[in-house]
Amino acid sequence: MDRYGLICRNIMEKPDITQRELAKALNVSLGTVNHLMKECISNGLLAPDQQNSGCHVLMPAGEEYMKPYKVDGAIILAAGFGSRFVPLTFEMPKGLLEVFGERMIERQIKQLHEAGVYDITIVVGYLKEKFEYLIDKYQVKLLYNPEYSSKNTLTTVYRARHLLKGRNMYLLSSDNWLRENMFHAYECSAWYALSHTDGETSEWCVGFNKKGKITNVHVGGCDTWFMYGPVFFSADFSDHYIPVLEAYYETPGTEQFYWEHVYMDIVNGTVKKTLNRYNKHFKDLSSKALEITDDLLNRAVMYANCQPDNQIYEFENLEELRLFDPRYQTHSDNKALELVAEVFHVEESAIKNICCLKSGMTNKSFLFNINNEKYICRIPGPGTELLINRRQEANVYKAAEALGITEQIIYFNGENGYKIAKYYEGSRTANSNSWEDMKSCMELLKSFHEAGLQTEHSFDIWERIHFYETLCKSRGSILFEDYKDVYNHMQEMMDWLNSLNRPKILSHIDSNADNFLILPDGQIRLIDWEYAGMCDPLIDISMCAIYSYYNTEQLEKLMQLYFKREPSLEERLVIYSYMALGGFLWSLWAVYKSTLGEEFGEYTLIMYRYAKDYYGKFHADLSKL
């Protein structure tokens, strides 16, 4: 790290700074500071201030010397979900949570402004719209990372790499809280902020030499310094780091890497070893990887920026935030926590051990503990108020209550769909690849159907198809190229089903393996009844099959487990029809959900393929009837 530059920077910020204060700031001896000051003066960088005794001023040569160290801007990483902070992050990105009445990201932006750093880009992903107001309030820029939901920070930094090239830039996390402003208008070398721990830690620990140059990074350590908080990328560091970052990005298997994984391998000398491990042979490496030279790696240098205790905070979960900001013990401004506190007649501080249980295709759920008992709170996903009638769902639970096959409901709101249920310790969801599990699930499903429960509402799959189609078109969604042809095939099957006039009873509709809960004693609960209604019960076999991505052979096995015999030709054709119609329905559902910002990868294509493939099977076998 350039000590002349650090001397000049401190003089610029505080002309009357004492040598003792400089020694503390540079973490060197008083004698070393005295020597450095004399050299700066003799080199024409500094001069005593003739008008103010004890002060120094930067000379023109010093101003020229400092130009390469001018900070150009900052990148703030804010794309992630923050799963350890649910349910708060179901409603708000972690960086926008308040600490002592001030949002964490805003505190950092204001600290940057105080240091004269105004060119700020926030890399967003999850709930990106929540950050938009910052453009007007602080004149920041937003950069969207489309891979935020499936990849880690290596990808986020990769998406922002053009902002780093040839520039001196802070790299910050939106969810850091800094007690004192540690930003400057000038930075003299690349650095990573470090905090010290007494005792064991699982953090990324750092070794550095007497000059502060980081020499090794390893996960876990004892009584050591570890990476924690802001980072500064000098233009020179970025020039040598970014080519390695690009090589890692292009290497399969690194999708869940942090950007620090790349730096750790650079420092530890294991870049080529890692790239080899994730490729079959060295010759198969990407062109970017082959361009990496030892000289490039040796020049990607970063220094330790050791910070005092209680300076940098990165809250791991709500429990830590409650200890720091007492307001969160009783008032989190979160609907779900307020509801739980009201239902159980406790303060929010009594809700403990909160963790994300599911951020699923329709709902979000979290697990929590009150008085050593565990419960699950379900929060309806965005747009579900258009898709699901929660009063009908409440009626379904009442109808099925006598059978004792549903989860134990503690609270259910038929207006907004919030649900609190008992958590079954040691339970697991059924494994669709285990025929032993599926045999038990089909036996439960068959006994449920044989009970012949009735409700006032129906599940009309053709009405739902039209409904989702209308929603998709209203939002300008582009449907499939052969949509009209496939639609006509679906109508053909629907007309045939209607001609059968089959009996209807209460059916689950969402009978996928994840909704069969197997308890430690072997009992099974069928959960999540939000789509349930009066329908041909064979639809449940079809839905189970397509949700499990079953092929024809697996479907045959599933039908035999349910019927305990060979299905009749009519039963087989009914199941084929509902598989096709179900695939068509859920592909439209997924297209609509994508317009709300929720993507489900290949699910859309798989469901649409079921519509086409099982229409083919239906059409081929219909003549045999």
At residue 1, what is the residue type?
M
Q: Whose CA is closest to 613, among 554, 551, 557, 564?
A: 551
Let me know whether 77 and 124 are in one domain: yes
Tell me what pLDDT residue 384 has: 63
Let me know whether 440 and 385 are in one domain: no
Q: Find the CATH number of the domain harbouring 251.
A: 3.90.550.10
Let me know whether 475 and 555 are in one domain: yes
Let me know whether 135 and 217 are in one domain: yes
Question: Is 321 part of any domain?
Answer: no
For the chain, give the mean pLDDT. Answer: 90
State mean pLDDT over 36-57.
Answer: 86
Let me know whether 86 and 38 are in one domain: no
Tell me what pLDDT residue 165 has: 94
On whether the CB atoms of residues 76 and 122 are closer than 8 A, the answer is yes
Q: What is the share, in percent, of the chain residues with pLDDT greater than 90?
A: 64
Tell me what pLDDT residue 282 has: 46
State mean pLDDT over 136-154.
Answer: 91
| Domain extent at residue 10 | 3-68
pLDDT tens figures, 555-599: 999 999 999 999 999 999 999 999 999 999 999 988 887 877 677
Contacts of 357 (CB under 8 A, 6+ apart): 365, 366, 367, 376
Question: Among 367, 399, 423, which residue terminates a domain?
Answer: 423
Question: Is 561 part of any domain?
Answer: yes
Tell me what pLDDT residue 439 has: 97
State mean pLDDT over 589-610.
Answer: 84
Question: Among 423, 454, 477, which residue terminates a domain?
Answer: 423
Q: Whose CA is closest to 299, among 359, 363, 235, 358?
A: 235
Let me know whether 532 and 566 are in one domain: yes
Q: Name the 3-class secondary structure at 560.
A: helix
State mean pLDDT over 495-512.
Answer: 95
Question: Is 592 part of any domain?
Answer: yes
Question: Is 277 part of any domain?
Answer: yes
Burial status of residue 151 (CB atoms within 10 A of its CB: 0-12, 13-18, 19 or more): buried
Let me know whether 212 and 355 are in one domain: no
Higher pLDDT, 300 or 76: 76
On whether the CB atoms of residues 599 and 149 are closer than 8 A, the answer is yes
Tell me what pLDDT residue 288 has: 61
Q: How confident is the model at residue 108 (pLDDT cuts 50, 70, 90)?
A: very high
- C-alpha torsion sign, points 528, 529, 531, 536: positive
Instruction: Say if residue 337's pLDDT is above 80.
Output: yes
Tell me what pLDDT residue 13 has: 86
Q: Find the CATH number of the domain harbouring 54.
A: 1.10.10.10
Question: Is 319 part of any domain?
Answer: no
Question: Is 328 part of any domain?
Answer: no
Task: Tell me how far apart the alpha carbons of residues 536 and 526 are, in angstroms, rounded to a whole number.
Answer: 18
- C-alpha torsion sign, points 342, 347, 348, 352: negative
Let me know whether 173 and 252 are in one domain: yes
Q: Find the CATH number of the domain harbouring 518.
A: 3.90.1200.10
Instruction: Say if residue 117's pLDDT is above 80.
Output: yes
Token duo for residue 94: 């972690």
Question: Among 379, 394, 423, which residue terminates a domain?
Answer: 423
Q: Whose CA is closest to 98, among 312, 341, 333?
A: 333
Question: Is 139 part of any domain?
Answer: yes
Of all helices (H) and strands (E), which one includes residue 377?
strand 373-380
Instruction: Say if residue 283's pLDDT is above 70.
Output: no
> How many domains, in total, are found in the chain?
4
Tell me what pLDDT residue 42 has: 87
Let me know whether 217 and 110 are in one domain: yes
Tell me what pLDDT residue 316 has: 85
Question: Is 324 part of any domain?
Answer: no
Let me know whether 415 and 371 are in one domain: yes
On whether the CB atoms of residues 141 and 121 are closer than 8 A, the answer is yes
Let me know whether 378 and 304 are in one domain: no
Instruction: Say if residue 305's pLDDT is above 50.
Output: yes
Let me know whether 297 and 362 are in one domain: no
pLDDT tens figures, 343-394: 999 999 899 999 887 555 567 889 999 999 999 999 887 666 666 788 999 9
State mean pLDDT over 529-548.
Answer: 96
Task: Tell me how far apart the alpha carbons of residues 327 and 518 are, in angstroms, rounded to a whole number.
Answer: 39
Q: Name the 3-class secondary structure at 146.
A: coil
Contacts of 433 (CB under 8 A, 6+ apart): none
